[in-house]
Structure 1
Amino acid sequence: MLVIRPITAADFPALKRIAIESGPGFTSLPDHDERLGQKIAHAEHSFAAQVNQPGDQGYLFVLEDTSSGDIVGTTGIEAAVGLHTPLYHFQQNTIIHHSAELNVLNQLKTLTLCNDYTGASEICTLFLRESYRRNHAGRFLSKVRFLFMAEHPTRFASKVIAEMRGAADENGIPPFWNWLQKLFLTIDFPTADKLIGVGKKSFIAELMPRHPIYVDLLPQQAQQVIGLVHENTKPALKMLEAEGFRHRGYVDLFDAGPTVEAQLTDIRSVAQSRKVAVKVQEVQGESTLAIANTAVRHFRASFGKGAHYCPEQQLLLLSPAMAEVLQLESGDFARFINLDQR
């Protein structure tokens, strides 16, 4: 059985392996021991804190295979981004150049540096080992964050964002990067990627263009990938779009991948989740349910058919094995969604 729980210091070796496996471009989980240790300590503090509004909290979860004890995935939520270290994007706009005398009207696309998402919550750091990418595990790893947010809404902002990895070539270098490197940064992509990953972002404000950039002046290769996602990221984007996330024109500075957003209460899995009492008994459900307890520091979530919801009694029947993993007893409350519903 797979179970989601808050990360602990003992998970450092597993998190480092995931950081290595995830490869370049996964800036929220860099292969950097000090930064990984900081992220774990920050998460432990965040789960333990008494919070009534979003602030500088980061909730990092790990997916554990209970049969082996192996950590096979990770997923996370930042409560409020950009409060201490600015979160930059390019905003896509259209400006009009008009000459009545010449009867000329030109609509020109631009990119403008901004930090409009300051204070928003961000879902991030989603990674699942390839051998486990089956039987709803990926859907569960994504959606479990919404169960946690639905149960503890005061910990999060009303707006939720997700930054999607942009298009890259066979060497992992974004086509969008080349013009930026040549004109403004003069460092290679792996170096910039590493600096972002370890939290050293001051060079963005110091070196990035401060005025709107006319898209038509960029190389054709760069223009073509603005707002596109990496091939491996398409399933994740499709899943978030089904949850109600939409792209409003904001893209990443370095790979031009889209940032998508949704209102917390409008996210499908938040709105459709149900909180009900639990009764522990032998049961074999027909649907695959994702179920979470209502704790913070001792949060647990799992999925499977060892559960069945009885709408007449408003009870969630849990098998003893599922209840044990979730640390639940009869009379406790749990929150769940149906993973079979697309």
Structure 2
Amino acid sequence: MPRATARHPLIVDAHLDIAYNVLYKQRDYRRSALTTRAIERNSPVEKQSGQCTVGLPDMIRGRVGLCFGTIFVEPYSRKLGEGWPAYRDAREAHTLGMAQLDFYRRWAEAYPSVTLVTTQRELAAVCRRWGVEESREASSVGSRFSTPHCVGIVLLMEGADPILEPKELERWYERGLRIVGPAWDTTRYAGGTWSGGRLSKLGRELLDVMAQFGVILDVSHMSHASLYEALDAFEGRHVIASHSNPYRYAPTPRHLPDRAIEMIAERGGVIGVVLYNRFLKKDWSGKKEDVTLDDVVRMVDHICQVTGSADHVGIGSDYDGGLGYNDIPRELNTIRDHYKIGDALLERGFTEQHVAQIMRGNWLRILREALPT
């Protein structure tokens, strides 16, 4: 275990496309990222997606013990790679999305080092296994595991088209879905990153059902118009941006103007900083070494300055989400290195309490409040 991770007993990453990579790119995340890189060298996957940065061994050794694992299906109009599934209509999106949900459930059943987190009790069990929470309930759940550490996965839908109609959200919720982002590109529910547009009537209905079941709203990838409308319309308690950076440093519709950052904070929400060089430095040269952890710290600090505290920022790396080793800051190699972000924050004057909030505490607060008992 890297010695520096003793400062960070548990790290939370709010955005990883695990099912997408395993099912579509045939990346076996039971292997280390370096092993996968060697297998993929000069392959079409490496050329299209970059060198792998995620593997369960890397997460466990780096103490990234909790993540938001996405259910992500892409529309045919914006296919990211030849040979990978994409949908043309809601029914196809539903089929692809359910296959990813089923993958997570099978994975958790098959491997003691993986567990789905759908309740407060299951969250407490994961925290206990990393030594950051003690409770009788956690002990009773954790006793069935044979390994001291694990990766807990909270299911997040990125782009809501797999939900056939708002009332069908109940079925997804019963099967473990806890966070929904209405858009990736524009969906039937909301305007998205590239095509734009507003929140649709169907989208408003979906928000109402989400509030009814206590589902967390993820505004990442929503167009600015639909984002502001959703923040105004959503009557649920919990809002996040799982993987978005400040618009000031990444001035595209993909990212958050200061007003949006303030509105998310006013709702008690959290924003996950994306570790993609192009989103960390707007004039990025394309060279890995030209972006450093100073650029990550700048993003974190900006969110803290806008919101007036360290209560509303975390990490949402989006690793292996179309970016690879060459697309992340100089000091980072795989997800095992997330602890270096916390160390950089400490070295640049953040207090230990604030760093603990950023690396895990803020996301844990949202989950403890939002998950059913």
Both proteins in one fold, TM over 0.5: no
- Which has the larger Rg? 1
Of Structure 1 and Structure 2, the greater strand share is in: 1
Q: TM-score, normalised by structure 2?
A: 0.28
Q: TM-score, normalised by structure 1?
A: 0.29
